[in-house]
Amino acid sequence: MAENTDVNTFMKWAVELSSEFEWREEERPYKIDMSERLAVTQQKLVFNEENWLESLLEDLSHGNLLNWRFLDNLRKTGRDHKAELRAAINDLWTTNTSPAGLTSFVDRIRGFAPDLAPGNLLAFGSVLLMATNPGLFPPYRAEPATSFLKLMGAANVPSNRAPATERYEAFLAGLDVLLEAAPGAGMELADRLDAQGLVWLVTNYSPPAEWVPSRKREFLAWRDHRDTAPEPGKDLRSGPYPVLEQAAASILIPGVAGGPSPYDPEVVSWSEANARELYRRVYEDPDAGAGTFMEKLEKQLTGADRGVVILAAELITLQCLPLSNLLPETKIRRVSRVLSWLDDAPTIPETIEAGLLTRGAFNGGTGFNVQLWRHLCWLCDLVISLRSSEDTAALAAATPQGFHDVAEAVHGNLPSIRYSMEYLSWPGFFEPIVNWGHRKKIRNAFAHEIEGASGDDEFSVATDLHLIHKAQEKRTGHRVEWYDEPWVSQWRPKAERAPRAWLVRQSQAGASLAGRWTDEGIVSLEAQYLGAPEPEASFPDLQAAVDAGYSHLDYSERRLRARSYHLFLTQMKTDDLVITVLGEHLRLGVITVPAEYMQTDAVAQLVCEVAWQEQPIPAEDLPAPFPRLLEEQGTVIDMTEGLPLMRTWLEEEEAADDVDPSVIALPAGGVPELRKASDELADKLFMGKDDLQEVIDLLQTRNQIVFYGPPGTGKTFLARKLARYLVGEEHTNHVTTVQFHPSYAYEDFFEGYRPVKGTDGQVAFDLVSGPLRRIAGAAAAERDKPFFLIIDEMNRGNLAKVFGELYFLLEYRDQSIDLQYNSEEKFVLPPNLFIIGTMNTADRSIAMVDAAIRRRFAFVELHPQEGMTSGLLDRFLAGTGQDRRPALLLDGLNQEIALEDRDLMIGPSYFMKPDSLSTAGLNQIWKYELLPLLEEHYYGRMSRQEIHARFGLEAIERKVDGITPAEL
């Protein structure tokens, strides 16, 4: 125990915490439960049962022993290297079932999955060992294990690079010291699992709320080596991205002090006169014509003094310098372009160029690009404020709070550029986080690190984040990245969704609001009688509030209003796009601050802050899906389906490749381009490549086709093979097949009420989606990929009854329609959903199909004697090296049938199977498949004896062999 010099201190705190928490009840049972689950899974793995991996991942998801991101990566590894992963686990579980096997276990997996971190794999291996003996092999987590050994004063604490076995055995040795010391401290520990639970208690639990602050600080100072006091001599001008920050400092320090410009030492650019002139040219003399921001700025700065242009270059440098979602080349090009407008144009200094070439400090989102001109105006106001007095400049240069106070007082509420400037000015104090919501979430999630939040004003939150950052770095020993693991999942448990798009109608309650919206940089929703809703109010809560406050409106209008409030308040988020219609134009903006309820001067409304684009967009001749979406009812409409096109409207000076593709990925829309027919496909189907391409072209332009023809022509086979080829082998789940029959109805095909057994055992009716609704939903979620619905035996169903109002959508894919069972929801057939129907002309004449279906589908005949299936059996037999006699017999049979009815001819699929090659097989095909079919076809026209005499195998063989009845 001499090697663990601080074990007594550890036990002292452990005893105190044990009296406050039921830690055994919290720590031990779930680990025992996981061990028992894993023991069952171990047997599945040993016997290589098919679902062993799914069972393992399910077991590991219970509890918090493994990081969720690691589990996600492990799932992907299992998918790509299932056999290798099983071998590594099996070896640890059956051959090297001890800590000695951990190093080879980790190294073996990293051999085929190098992205899995050694520490996470060690934790994984310890959990697998736990399944064999939880009392002997408790779970391991790198961070608390290392902290524990350091707190115990262990003489040797293995580094993160040490072999896995060494790290785990050091941890076990520390647990054994606790087991030895526990009785002397008046504590009973049953085994290593108990000791590990005690370690978790001391290293992870927050001090009890009942402890006085001084006691909490004492404990945290010991456990986390925390010092929340300001660090003497700490350089608050140095932060996490020194190259970028030095570039900013080379502009900001002389700028705030009123010194010479780094771009031209002969010019003092940060003067009040220069700032006012730049502001006047950009804001008071706007260019509302066509062109990008940079093109307009060039016109606006024509004839400006050198100091004004240099100030513009410096401010644009500061605006784009920290952005990680703007390519470094674009930043350089942007600044160089401004400098090029000068006579004797200066070059970018090396320090600033190096900063511009970094990947940046934060993702500014779409809003930072759209608001470039607003940011430039705000920065002009900041310069004007700094030059208003020597005291103001001195205050900004003296302390982080001084700069914050000066920046906060600048006219115009643009927190994102203000937060950016605070970080660039004092990067050792302010975090590079420009989203106010994220700042508060991070602070609130980690406030326990500093004994709670100090306040909710902006500077208090910034101060708290600074202290939390210090505490985290001291505890972990490395730099904190709030948007990376292990931190991001603690303040943002769920990944934030991708940006969406919205339409908000500007005509509300008889008033036109667009002018006020663009002037004030907002979008709003009238809420006079709504009351003050919670920020994340549920739809039922909002519906109840609308029903109470707007009882004078019709119930259907109240329903629409509640939906609009719910979308506006809970779904419209920062960086979403928003449009409104004003006359014959659209106005486009980016949400910068999400909705909040405001009530002033007896006017109540929900308000989002928006950066509106200056250039209006003509509303005429808009492509799909805009005409349909703009016609939908409601004040707030989800326009995400049109997001790809809306992104192209954003006013941005560069092409799409100026934005880092690793940061922004645009969803695809419209009809995806289908694969071309290949020689391989044609060879597999024994059909002409040109014929197949013609069918694919029909699908591309019409979206829906019907294969029709006599039985056995391979209609369903071709539909399935073609659909699977077009979606690709990796997306075979994008193909759904249904079969129509006389009792099939709309409720089966699309949606209808079905009896469903509830959790209470009672049966109720629920609205259940059918195959069309399900695949349409899947297709809408992946617009860039094709989906196929195959409708077999289509003409056996009552098509008008089955399709109902969906007839309309088969012809008008760019429109929406109210649903029979859900009139409040608009339904659209996604353009990437293709439909292939099959119709058997012998079952029911295709002439009986109504004209509505004929107009909506392209009809492709598959006939044994004509078109793409003509000679198919011959090609199949030749291609597979078989006797072509079955093809001759089929031709002979169809020639005999053709005299009566071409729709009753027999297709080749009856003979495309092995038993057709033998005499016995042919006899069976004729006796049990073809003749019964022909007897049904000719019922009432020919007797059974006549059918057998004319179409029997012997009769057709004589015909093929050229023997007439007279020669018999």
Q: Where in the chain are the domains?
A: 7-216, 242-389, 501-658, 709-856, 871-967
Note whether 468 and 490 are within 8 A (CB): no
Axis crossing angle, helix 164-181 with helix 118-132, rounded to the nearest 10: 50
Alpha-helix runs per DSSP H in 623-675: 626-630, 643-649
According to DSSP, the β-strands at 585-600 and 577-582 are antiparallel
Nearest to 667 by CA among 592, 577, 776: 577
- One DSSP character per residue, 36-70 reads HHHHHHHHHHHTT-TTHHHHHHHHHTSSSSS-HHH
Please write the tens of the pLDDT for every residue from 782-813. Answer: 778 899 999 999 988 888 889 888 888 888 88
CA distances 381 to 386, 445, 593, Å, are 9, 35, 21
Between CA 155 and CA 177 the distance in angstroms is 13
The CATH number assigned to the domain with range 709-856 reads 3.40.50
Low pLDDT (below 70) residues in the chain = 1-5, 213-214, 217, 224-234, 285-291, 493-496, 509-510, 601, 651-670, 759, 823-824, 843-849, 899-900, 963-968
Q: 577 in helix, strand or coil?
A: strand
| pLDDT at residue number 213 | 55
Between CA 162 and CA 158 the distance in angstroms is 6
- The secondary structure of 594-618, three-state, reads EEEEEEECCEEEEEEEEEECCCCEE
| pLDDT at residue number 652 | 46
Between CA 126 and CA 99 the distance in angstroms is 8
- Give the start-end residues of each E strand in 494-572: 501-504, 507-508, 511-512, 522-526
| pLDDT at residue number 669 | 43
CA distances 753 to 524, 562, 756, 820, Å, are 38, 25, 9, 11
Hey, what are 221's tokens? Answer: 């100072």
Helix (H) or strand (E) holding 466: helix 458-476
Between CA 230 and CA 237 the distance in angstroms is 14
Between CA 200 and CA 81 the distance in angstroms is 33
Residue with token string 């470094």: 328
- For residue 831, cis peptide bond before it (omega within 30 degrees of 0): no
- The secondary structure of 77-101, three-state, reads HHHHCHHHHHHHHHHHHHCCCCHHH
Please write the tens of the pLDDT for every residue from 111-125. Answer: 999 989 899 999 999
| pLDDT at residue number 648 | 79
